[in-house]
Structure 1
């Protein structure tokens, strides 16, 4: 049975996942490809004017600041906040959200982004805690 024991460190240990590759960073084709993909990742319209009637720009600012604070306090991978904010904006472009649901939406976006970009995603329990339990674990699960 001892031959099945694995003593390797987990892939999610402290430190960067990969070193910078100067061949990629200095190649202009990378930037051109990113610029071509940009229309598919940014919100297509100003959702404050056309879709959201109950949400104002300052409310989005408060929620994204909260999301950033959670990411910083939990030492999330750098991409988690960016992906979560992008998911938030894309959802707000597609669905009407009440102001009472905005923090729930932020928590769900953080959960999804952490599952996409981290080895150990943020837990539902932790996200409910960071909302001071104004959002329940059940609401996060159902959303």
Structure 2
């Protein structure tokens, strides 16, 4: 799994002009599922994200996690994170998981996060979504469950 994690002061996701998920201070996670991913990948990434120390402490240092800062989480599926544009001009998405498998692991990831974080909002799987955010910092971290070393 791949995740683009952005620390935000606010973020929302809309489908057909209707807001389906919105948060205040916390993390926006754009989540891509690879064809070889499994529940272990989702569990690893969920735990990594909610414990990532990218929130400021009393001294202004990035030293607190989402859990420690009582932040909110917005998770949006994004298969294009597995787009490969090394050849030609049109990305290939061959490494992205098929929709049924991707949705299963996306839902598992969200379920895991809901056990750890009080407020978890989502987009709508396979929908055309508009994502709005105010990146705080800016802080953006790229994570990949394949790179657990």
TM over 0.5: no
Give TM-score scaled by structure 1 length.
0.27
More helix by percentage: 1
Bigger radius of gyration = 1
Give TM-score scaled by structure 2 length.
0.26
More strand by percentage: 2
